[in-house]
């Protein structure tokens, strides 16, 4: 992502894009990246979400491109999703 200042600014843009998702709406990681001015950086959005400690961040509004929730590897949700 570049220097620490650039990294912080980029992460802030991603968090701001996530906070702007209205209640009742879900958005794919790639769309969050696009809204943050970072087209093609869906994995970066996932990384920022994974490192976020902001309890007020509506992470549950961000989903995979197929509309499903992306559970962390090894989590109970991941295991259930993997079996279905």
DSSP the chain: --SHHHHHHHHHHHHHHHHTSPTT--EEHHHHHHHTT-TT-HHHHHHHHHH---TTS-GGGEE-TTS---PPTTSHHHHHHHH-
Domain ranges of the chain: 4-83
Tens digits of per-residue pLDDT, 34-51?
999 999 999 999 999 988
CATH code linked to domain 4-83: 1.10.10.10
Confidence grade of residue 32 (pLDDT, cut at 50, 70, 90): very high
Please give the Cα distance from 84 to 25 (Å, whole number): 24
- pLDDT of 69 reads 83
Question: Looking at residue 72, what is its pLDDT?
Answer: 72
């Amino acid at each position: 992502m570049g220097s620490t200042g650039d990294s912080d600014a980029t992460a802030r843009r991603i968090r701001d894009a996530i906070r702007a998702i209205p209640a009742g709406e879900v958005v794919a990681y790639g769309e969050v990246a696009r809204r943050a001015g970072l087209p093609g950086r869906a994995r970066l959005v996932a990384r920022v979400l994974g490192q976020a400690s902001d309890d007020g961040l509506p992470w549950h509004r961000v989903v995979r491109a197929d509309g499903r929730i992306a559970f962390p590897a090894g989590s109970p949700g991941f295991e259930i999703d993997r079996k279905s």
